[in-house]
């Protein structure tokens, strides 16, 4: 259902508000550059500091531009189950193809709590749901056993795995088979994740190198591995630069160098340091993204 390079979209701001024209232009550019899918209102989209109205509007703007050309997987997670259900219902109403639902942060539920949280959402909204497992931000880690139980629900179709554990996709493949869509949440492990049974990557780097990220995925799926490895090596320094400071500040600055948006982020994220900006620009030039 979902595969390839799926961009975890930034949310452009101008004068403190969502820059709607810049966002829609950015979405269209992503599709033209070959991205296989789009994720509005994820972590990279600064969902923690979007108001509910802004969150819903950004999803709607993305769906409006995509027009079914590529899947839209709307960020809809929360550490409140009721809030996650409400955002997932809106994703369906807006016309999104799926919802990306992060594990509940701060509350620290146990595995039973995670199971019940996702089942409550899946039972409330008839839309494909992708679990977002990112222990580095949420503290908790969903076990493969819990995930396999959730995969039995017809609405829970996949995972964005940001654990950096390359043994996990193979374990999940053995437990649930290929019907469960496994997407890497870490650009640096994209090829390793594919080799272990994954089918794609929800990518931060694709914000600024959508064509190259799509090319890597396409090359792998076509079996042209030498080309995939070549692109991997070109992208490696860029992946690192995207996390020289907290995401999405580096990605937004990089996108601003391409003239796609302002580099503005919302507090508590801070503007990038001069040294970080230089490193990002250097990596973009090395990847052939800037003259």
Largest CA distance in the chain: 52
Q: Is the residue at 263 inside a domain?
A: no
Domain span including residue 127: 4-223
Establish whether 149 is a catalytic residue: no
Catalytic pick among 56, 160, 252, 260? 160
Q: Is the residue at 69 inside a domain?
A: yes
Establish whether 132 is a catalytic residue: yes
Q: Write the CATH number for 104.
A: 3.20.20.70
Count of structural domains, the chain: 1
Q: Is the residue at 100 inside a domain?
A: yes
Question: pLDDT (tens digit, 0 to 9) for every residue of the chain, 291 residues total?
Answer: 799 999 999 999 999 999 999 999 999 999 999 999 999 999 999 999 999 999 999 999 999 999 999 999 999 999 999 999 999 999 999 999 999 999 999 999 999 999 999 999 999 999 999 999 999 999 999 999 999 999 999 999 999 999 999 999 999 999 999 999 999 999 999 999 999 999 999 999 999 999 999 999 999 999 999 999 999 999 999 999 999 999 999 999 999 999 999 999 999 999 999 999 999 999 999 999 998
Catalytic pick among 118, 132, 252, 277? 132
Q: Is the residue at 189 inside a domain?
A: yes
Does residue 180 sit in helix, strand or coil?
coil
DSSP 38-85: EE-SSTTTTGGGS-HHHHHHHHHHHHHHHTTSS-BEEE---SSHHHHH
Q: Is the residue at 284 inside a domain?
A: no
DSSP 116-171: HHHHHHHHH--S-EEEEE-HHHHS----HHHHHHHTTSTTEEEEEE-S--TTHHHH
Q: Is the residue at 192 inside a domain?
A: yes
Nearest Cα to Cα of residue 47 among 193, 265, 278: 265
Q: Is the residue at 77 inside a domain?
A: yes
Q: Is the residue at 238 inside a domain?
A: no
């Amino acid at each position: 259902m979902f595969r390839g390079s799926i961009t975890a979209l930034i949310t452009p701001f101008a004068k403190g508000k969502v820059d709607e024209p810049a966002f829609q232009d950015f979405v269209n550019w992503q599709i033209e550059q070959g991205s296989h899918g789009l994720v509005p209102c994820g972590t990279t989209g600064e969902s923690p500091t979007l108001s509910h109205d802004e969150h819903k509007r950004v999803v709607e703007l993305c769906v409006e531009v995509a027009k079914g050309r590529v899947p839209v997987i709307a960020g809809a997670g929360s550490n409140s189950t009721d809030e996650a259900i409400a955002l997932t219902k809106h994703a369906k109403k807006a016309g999104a193809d799926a919802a990306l639902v992060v594990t509940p942060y701060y509350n620290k539920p146990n595995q039973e709590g995670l199971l019940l949280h996702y089942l409550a959402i899946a039972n409330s909204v008839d839309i494909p749901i992708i679990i977002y497992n990112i222990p580095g931000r949420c503290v908790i880690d969903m076990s493969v056993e819990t995930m396999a139980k959730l995969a039995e629900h017809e609405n829970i179709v996949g995972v964005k795995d940001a654990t950096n554990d390359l043994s996990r996709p193979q374990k999940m493949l053995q437990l649930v088979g290929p019907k469960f869509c496994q997407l890497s949440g870490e650009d640096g492990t994209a090829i390793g994740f594919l080799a272990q049974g994954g089918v794609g990557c929800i990518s931060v780097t694709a914000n600024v190198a959508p064509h190259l990220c799509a090319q890597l995925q396409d090359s792998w799926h076509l079996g042209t591995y030498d080309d995939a490895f070549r692109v991997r090596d070109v992208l490696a320094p860029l992946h690192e630069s995207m996390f020289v400071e907290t995401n999405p500040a580096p990605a937004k600055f990089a996108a601003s160098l391409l003239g796609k948006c302002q580099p503005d982020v919302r507090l508590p994220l801070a503007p990038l340091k001069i040294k970080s900006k230089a490193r990002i620009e250097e990596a973009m030039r090395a990847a052939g993204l800037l003259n």
